[in-house]
Structure 1
Amino acid sequence: MTDETLATQKKDLSNQWKKIGEQLWLKYYKILFACKDTAAACFSGNKRTLHSNIKDELEKQRKAWNGAFYPFYQGYQKIGIHGLRLTEKRIKNYDLQKYLKSTDTVLDIGCNTGYIALEISSSITKVQGLEINPCLINVANLVKEHLKISNAEFSTSSFENFSSKKQYSVILSLASHETWDNKSTFTFNEYIEKVAKLCLPRGILVFETHDLRTEDVPRMLSVLQKDFELEVQKKLEKEHRLMPERMLFVMRKR
């Protein structure tokens, strides 16, 4: 597949996802998810307040954020939020707990609403979530406070601008190496080069592709294997019928 063909396909899919985002917020969420979330929230006044605050943040995002719109992209059963990609199911699909230790420090690049970071926080020492969209970081902090989690931190920053004096024993790059709205400016080589610098020797990288229709997997693996050894490669089960097929790589830093 040529670079020009890939670029055209990605542009087409980007436009499709923008339309899907608006449709989900204006129609699909209200019909399918809202009734489930309302039922879950009825059991707890605190949860009702949390849901209301989350929805307020997502409405702010829809009106003010000049980029990809994520209306309940991530779901989190623990707090009664039903999204396209359920956090608990993703963690199981990735077999993520297998690669985590109590001493681990984790970086979650493009953490979205931070649900995966929050869910794994009890298994590790500390997790740092990184997300360019401030509305999604606000949601992450709302849920962090609700769940009384103290070892998770969330920062509003692009990966390009992120800096850290420390390295991490586990890095999560879950469909975050580029964005549909073209807010990411790194080439794939530049992205992986920075990931490698942030990863401790013999540390773990859990890497998820985007839609396999637009990814040059052999080329990606070639770049990844300059700094990492491949331990696991598998095609992922879809969390929802609207989601594309993706591939997961578990890599170890050389």
Structure 2
Amino acid sequence: MSLSFPVDTVLAILQRFPRPADELEQQALARLKTLDAQEADSLWEQLCLRVLLNPVYLEALWPDACSQHPEMRQLIQRLKERLWVPDAREQAENDSAQWVLEQGDAGQHDTLMQRLLSYLKNGNPNGGAPFAFLARYYTWRDVVVTQLVAPERTELTDRIFGLLDMQNKQWGKPYCGGYAYQGYARVGIAGVKPTEERLEGYGFMPWLNGDMSVLEIGCNNGFMAIELAGRAGIVDAVEYNPFLVEIGRITAEALALDNVSFQVADFSNWMPARRYDVVLSFANHCTIDGNLAVEFESFVAKLWGLTQDGGWLLFESHNVFGAGTGAAGDDGDLDRKFDIMECYFELQDSKMTRAFVPSHDIDKLFVVLRRRPQVLASVQRSMNLGEARKRYAYQGEPFSC
């Protein structure tokens, strides 16, 4: 097999929407600039084999070709049938070697790889369905980064994308065009919301300690819960989507963590075994996929009941610039909601946090609250949404105590 790595094109793609805080991405960019030709071409051949013979990546990176061309559908079916039989898989790879050689040639017009790289280099992130471009862009980015500088993570990455593929086909209403909502630079997944960078912006990580118990409601694919487990004593994470929970479980297993627990559950019916020092509700008082739509006071009352005396609630909004009509994802009525919230929790501080991706994302309001000893029948609300959505820094030091 002989293929050439289009280094300049791949560099240009990775630099379109950079993540400067992502160490693996920075290492990948540096390596691309120093690769000798022989090593580069060998890596490109491995990468082409990885994506062009994996049904999950074929469908994620070339969705139109896979749906429109019978020969692609037949190839995908053959690969799926032979995936688990060693001899059959080897034969499928041998049978497809010439096809990979042809379609992996990025220098030839109208090959799969040439079309993909052209699209990722020049495509409009705002075009088409929400996240349609970015889902393909970040999938490719993750494959390239792990192939270049984290080969020990390629098996985990492939398993994660396999679970995202199952979610897309079996769950319905997947977030972010089927791509990962949460990212985790530690394992090579960029995500729409990069976990480490996101947590640094919230500012509470140094404040956590090994005596604290933490609950994350709606943990998505579990990357944030896993990162929190590096500081807290116990982290429990609840999520209704079983495919995302499995991503959290296999990632925690790969990182040898034993103090984070994932549960598949509908939060409105879930009953915990303990109360928690810190409860996280990040844009989960209703969900865009329609799988959670609890009446707001019932939701807040349950949060209060889950929190230890003197414990903390860390709350992230949906769209605080919305019309406030009560639609899913619309927190333009957050003042009204905080008339309720502050009967249960005392507002400590808040700040806006900026979106991470170049389209289809919004700035969010992050709020720090503390559990009241008793629920108050009424309270003079401290939240002023009009003022809060102008501030991108805390007014005080909410985690200094």
Conserved? CA contact 2:217–2:267, under 8 Å: yes
Within 5 A, what are the aligned runs for 1:163-178?
163-178=271-286
More strand by share: 1
| CA offsets 1:56-106 (integer angstroms, 9 cap, x no match) | 000000000034435211111111101111001110111121442220110
Cα separation, 2, equivalents of 1:165 and 1:83: 31
Q: Do the aligned partners of residues 30 and 205 (structure 1) sit closer, same or farther apart at CA in structure 2, a change above 3 Å counting?
A: same
TM-score normalised by structure 2 residue count: 0.56
How well do the aligned residues superpose, as a CA RMSD in angstroms? 1.9
Unaligned 5+ runs, structure 1: 1-18
2:103 match? none
- Which structure has the higher relative contact order (CA within 8 Å, separation 6+)? 1
Which among 241, 245, 252 is matched to residue 363 of structure 2?
245
1:128 aligns with 2:245: no
| Matched residue SS, 2:219 | coil
Conserved? CA contact 2:168–2:174, under 8 Å: no
1:149 match? 257
2:201 match? 93
Q: How many pairs are equivalent?
A: 234
Conserved? CA contact 2:175–2:181, under 8 Å: no
- 1:31 CA displacement: 3.0
1:4 match? none
Cα separation, 1, equivalents of 2:200 and 2:352: 13
Q: Among all aligned residue pairs of Structure 1 and Structure 2, give the percentage whose two residues are the same amino acid.
A: 27
Conserved? CA contact 1:62–1:69, under 8 Å: no
Report the residue type matching 1:121 in the other structure: A
1:34 aligns with 2:140: yes
2:158 match? 52
TM-score normalised by structure 1 residue count: 0.86
Cα separation, 2, equivalents of 1:37 and 1:207: 33
Divergent runs of 4+, >6 A? none
Conserved? CA contact 1:89–1:239, under 8 Å: no
| Matched residue SS, 1:179 | coil
Larger radius of gyration: 2
1:223 match? 340
- 1:249 CA displacement: 0.7
Q: Do the aligned partners of residues 107 and 41 (structure 1) sit closer, same or farther apart at CA in structure 2, a change above 3 Å counting?
A: farther
Report the residue type matching 1:20 in the other structure: P
Conserved? CA contact 1:236–1:246, under 8 Å: yes
